Structure 1
Amino acid sequence: MNIAYVALGANLGDPASTIRAAFGALANLPESRVVHCSSLYRTAPVGILDQPEFVNAVAMLETTLAPEALLDALLEVEQRFGRIRAEKNGPRTLDLDLLLYDDQFVDLPRLTLPHPRLHLRAFVLQPLAELAPDLIIPGRGRIAAWLPAVANQGIVLL
């Protein structure tokens, strides 16, 4: 089994309910099992600031799906939740980002692992650190070393 971490985010409709329902959808992915889910966090938008606040979380999965197959499954879940990719960093019903897949480095046109900005965003680091406080981000080092750099980003435990 491989360990994968998936970030979840939503800011349209009832985002907290959406994230909880998405945890359930992840539990139904083929060849995969949800091991742990983080708490939910309320966060300020990044990029486009004139939009509702987000609810974010992270799930830890065990999976035998290859990274690209897992990405395809995640995109399918987003579509089932009504995700429309209208603008980068815009409002969304559900966003699922594959953050890490074991300690693999992947650099493909549609998938980069580790996620290239995970170490810069409190809405990813905080829930990820909740699940795996001793995690080493491949190529970046210990997750705990990155938390102080994002401490000024607004994030509130729900």
Structure 2
Amino acid sequence: MEPASTLAWIGIGGNLGDARATVETAIARLAALPQTQLLRSSSLYRTAPVDASGDDYVNAVALVSTTLPALDLLHALQAIELQHGRERPYRNAPRTLDLDVLMYGEARIADQELTVPHPRMVQRAFVLAPLLEIDENAVIPGVGAARPLLDAITDQPIRRI
């Protein structure tokens, strides 16, 4: 019997090098992950850094269906980041690529390696806008509907590119 498939939402972003090309390549790499199918990806968005420095970010969100356990999915995303030269010199440092498990089905996980839903996604227009582009009725487990959350953070400029 095959393991059940889970819908997982992946946040994608970067602001070093050719961030647009990197985000587009990352989406293609998500589609190539084992035991994973890319269902949808948002448009690309340009945003100013939030709680960080450096150039503007290019961001997107992807929806995948996967039979990978949540931590295995996280490790696969971290491998893609490393292939793109991701370094972690300090918290919120500029980056070539950042891939985050935003939501993993209805799961609520809080351990040393992974927290889902992603704890800051509800405060980030660069997550909520592309998420709502893919699913206008998105619901964040333990939080509720995503639309009012985006409506509450209009101070974060975001532009579809």
Relative to the length of structure 1, the TM-score reads 0.97
Q: Secondary structure at the match of 2:152?
A: helix
1:54 paired residue number: 57
**Structure 2: which 5+ residue stretches go unaligned?**
none
CA distance in 1, matches of 2:152, 2:60: 19
2:26 paired residue number: 22
Amino acid at match of 1:98: V
Q: Deviations over 1:26-51 (max 9, x none)?
A: 111110010000000000001233x1
Tell me the matched-pair count: 157
Q: Secondary structure at the match of 1:150?
A: coil
1:65 paired residue number: 68
Runs of 4+ in 1 over 4 A off after TM superposition: none
1:152 Cα deviation after fit: 1.4
Q: Deviations over 1:36-83 (max 9, x none)?
A: 00000000001233x100000000000000000000000000000110
Matched, 1:12 2:16: yes
Matches within 5 A, 1:3-152: 3-49=7-53, 51-152=54-155
CA distance in 1, matches of 2:63, 2:51: 26
Relative to the length of structure 2, the TM-score reads 0.95
CA RMSD, Structure 1 to Structure 2 (Å): 0.7
Amino acid at match of 2:90: E
Matched, 1:153 2:156: yes
Q: Secondary structure at the match of 2:9?
A: strand
